[in-house]
Amino acid sequence: MMSTDEELLQALREGRLWAFQAVYRKHGESMVRFATQLLGNQADAEDAVQEAFLTLHRKIAGFRGRSSLATWLYRVLVNRALKIRKRRRPMESLDETTPLAGAGPPGALASAEAGAAMAKAIDALPERQRVVFTLSEIEGFTTMEIGEILGLRSGTVRFHLCKAREGLRGKLRPYFGNPDARIDARRSAVQ
Amino acid sequence: MKRNFDCRDFERVFERWPLEGDEEATRALAAHVESCAPCRTRLQEYREISRLAAALKQSIEAPGLWPRIEAGLVRERAQPRRFPRRVPLLAGAIAAAALLLLLPTVLPTLLRPRAGVSRSTILADAEIETLVREERRIAARIGEIEPLFETRIAQEDHAAAIVSGGLAYLDGNIETCRRLCERNPANRSIRRALLQSAEKKLEILEAFVSR
């Protein structure tokens, strides 16, 4: 049975399991994917999502609906994920001279190689840029929604997004466009 | 009339990329990159970054996660809450009744203006002296009446037992105000609260013993 947002919120406040399951069905997968992107592994990501849902259960009474439930939930998730990340050792960052294996089609990276390079490059971004970029480009949140999630102004979100994009551009430039340039970049990296 | 953009203007447009519905800026950028190779390359690279990032949005399986969350929620629900969700009905009703009974008697006293007292929050020395004298007078009178009241309590006067609950509340107020007055002797509101509580106590005692 479909329920309105208001009914869903009421059911969440009453602690009804079906309501939590409905929220999980709607956002669970993207939350796990987003947290995996932030944390680098799915096990930690699942822990973060579980903690976010338990926080939802504890704090839903204080949710006033000024933002959407999704942005509120992502805000909790970001805080949890960053706490988990801080507890762990810093992850290996992308070394600019690391040669990437395999050959790709001219004009663009081969998709598998590109995905790996992109994931590593995102992981190497400063924390705020990484979170903003992931929310925007992978999860599809608007600048305003990201501002609500992170408690930032839209202008600040755009600033971090631009910085992130420029950072990624710098790291991935040898692999864009001209295939000869890419081969030269790899050769120089290997030497 | 439309402004002619150059690359420096487009720096700001690139900062706002992906422009989120700003069609005018999108059109202007498209026109500009037709004739500007560096901006064209930059735009292509931005698009490539967006394409690669979107490709990371893959389906992810987490079959054991919902059962874990569900178990966690059930566990949390089973734990007692730190604060009860609802005040027991009877206690709420008693508190409301007590408040209704107290309000008509306490409010006029609280709102009554006092002659000869200025509106400043800090009392002058002369005012403190006057108020302390008044406090002592009331305390002395209470000291005279209270033994009579306690005799009634000892005789198990039912009404005295009920009133003693209200007096205990006022005693608590008086005690707290006295402690605060020791630290802030010139604070008008504390002095006023002390005097009002003492006056109220005296009023109740006098009314009771004169029955």
CA distance A96 to B10: 28
pLDDT reading at A100 higher than 60:
no
Distance of residue A108 Cα from the nearest chain B Cα, in angstroms: 8
Could B73 and A28 be called an inter-chain contact, meaning their C-beta atoms sit closer than 8 Å? no
Q: What is the pLDDT of residue B102?
A: 77
Does the beta-carbon distance from B49 to A162 stay under 8 Å? no
Among A29, A138, A158, beta carbon nearest to B53? A138
Do A137 and B49 contact (CB within 8 A), yes or no? yes
Do the beta carbons of residue B186 and residue B128 sit within 8 Å? Answer: yes
B72–A137 C-beta distance less than 8 A: no
Taking phi first (over 0 means left), then psi (-120 to 50 degrees means alpha), and beta for anything else, what does residue A40 get?
Answer: left
Instruction: State the pLDDT at residue A110.
Output: 55
pLDDT interval class at A73 (50, 70, 90):
very high
Largest Cα span, chain B: 106
**Cα B20 from Cα B13, distance rounded (Å):** 11
Contact B48 A176 (CB under 8 A): yes
Mean predicted confidence (pLDDT) in A9-25: 91
Chain A contacts of B58, Cβ < 8 Å?
A: 33
**ipTM of the predicted assembly exceeds 0.95:** no
Per residue, the 3-state secondary structure of B49-99, as one string, reads HHHHHHHCCCCCCCCCHHHHHHHHHHHHHHCCCCCCCCCCHHHHHHHHHHH
CB pair distance less than 8 Å for B53 and A122: yes
Handedness of CA B72, B78, B79, B83 (dihedral sign): positive
* Chain A residues lying within 8 Å of B11, measured CB to CB: none
Tokens of B137: 């007078």
The CA distance from A39 to A141, in Å, is 19
User: How many Cβ pairs closer than 8 A exist between chain A and B?
Assistant: 106
